[in-house]
Amino acid sequence: MKVLYFAWVRERIGKAEEIVEPPPSVRTVGELMRWLRSRGEEYERAFERPVVRAAIDQVHVKPEAVIAGAREIAFFPPMTGG
């Protein structure tokens, strides 16, 4: 599945997007975040603060959201537009 990162999440990981294949045991957004954290120090740093938010197919979701069928999952800090 395609994963996108924005703002300081993107900077800490060092890339704007990537294709990942988490194991089947990873079922929710929160579990995906925990799995990503296990992939290296840069991911650990990106997700160390509990404020990172997520969107599935461009719609805001909570950590309990199921990722099955998602085309695009994005992680980003709280928004600061306007």
Partner 1 sequence: MSAPPSAATAPVTIRLQREDFDVAREIAALTAGRSDIGAVVSFVGLCRKGEGAEAITAMTLEHYPGMAEAEIRRHVDEALVRWPLTAVTVIHRHGRLVPGDNIVLVLTASAHRQAAFHGAEFLMDYLKANAPFWKSEERAEGARWVEAHARDDEALTRWRS
> Which residues make up the interface to partner 1 (CB under 8 A)?
4, 6-8, 51, 55, 58-60, 74, 76-82
Asked whether 27 and 64 are in contact (CB, 8 A), the reply is no
Closest distance between partner 1 and the C-beta of residue 7, in Å? 4
Q: Which two tokens stand for residue 55?
A: 């969107």
Q: How far is the CB of 50 from partner 1 (least distance, A)?
A: 13
| Complex with partner 1: residue 23 or 29, whichever CB lies closer | 29
**Closest to partner 1 by CB, 64 or 72:** 72
> SS3 for 54?
strand
Gap between the Cα atoms of 73 and 63, Å rounded: 12
